[in-house]
Chains A and B, each alone.
Chain A
Amino acid sequence: MDELELLKKDWKKQEEGLPKLSYDEIYRMILKKSSSIVKWIFVISILEFILWASIDVIARLSGKYQEAETLGMENFFMISTIISYGVLVYFIVRFYLNYRKIKVTDSAKVLMQNILNTRKTVKYYVWINLTVIGLLIISTTLYMLFFSNELADSLDGKEVPVGLIIVAAIVMAIIFVGFLALIYRLIYGILTRRLKQNYKELQKLEV
Chain B
Amino acid sequence: MNKELEHSFVTNLEQNQNIVHKVCRIYTNDADSHKDLFQEITIQLWKAYPKFRGDAKFSTWMYRVSLNTAITLYRKSKRSIKTSDFDSMDFKIKAEEYDDEVEQQLKLMYAAVKQLNDIEKALVFLYLEDKSYREIAETMGISEVNARVKMNRVKTKLKKILNP
Contact = CB atoms under 8 A, between A and B. Distances in A.
B21 A18 contact: yes
B30 interface: no
A36 B42 contact: no
Contact of A8 (B47, B68, B71, B130): B130
Nearest to B108: A3
B132 interface: no
Interface string B70-94: 0111111000000000000011111
Contacts of A8: 127-128, 130
Nearest to B150: A205
B93 A205 contact: no
A6 B110 CA distance: 11
Contacts of B67: 108
Contacts of B115: none
B64 A30 contact: no
B119 A26 contact: no
Interface of A: 2-4, 6-8, 10-11, 13-15, 17-23, 26-27, 29-30, 32-38, 40, 103-112, 115, 191, 194-195, 197-198, 201-202, 205-206
Contact of B40 (A11, A18, A36, A111): A36
B61 interface: yes
Contact of A34 (B10, B38, B44, B141): B44
Contacts of B34: 19
Interface in B90-142: 90-94, 97, 102, 105-106, 109-110, 113, 117-120, 122, 124, 127-130, 138-142
Interface string B1-12: 000001001110
Nearest to A2: B155
Contacts of B59: none
Interface residues of B, number: 70
Interface of B: 6, 9-11, 13-14, 17-18, 21-22, 25, 34, 38-40, 42-44, 46-48, 51-52, 61, 64-65, 67-69, 71-76, 90-94, 97, 102, 105-106, 109-110, 113, 117-120, 122, 124, 127-130, 138-143, 146, 149-150, 155, 158-159, 162
Interface majority SS on B: helix, strand, loop or mixed?
helix
A33 B47 CA distance: 11
A109 to B, nearest CB: 3
Contact of B47 (A11, A21, A23, A34): A34
A195 B74 CA distance: 9
A134 B103 CA distance: 64
Contacts of A15: 18, 22
A37 B73 contact: yes
Nearest to A3: B109
B71 A198 contact: yes
B72 A26 contact: no
Contacts of A112: 72
Nearest to B149: A205
B141 A6 contact: no
B148 to A, nearest CB: 11
A10 B110 CA distance: 10
A33 B106 contact: no
A8 B47 CA distance: 32
Contact of B22 (A18, A26, A32, A198): A18
Contact of B159 (A3, A22, A106, A109): A3
Given A3-B162, A6-B106, A34-B47, A29 B72 contact: no
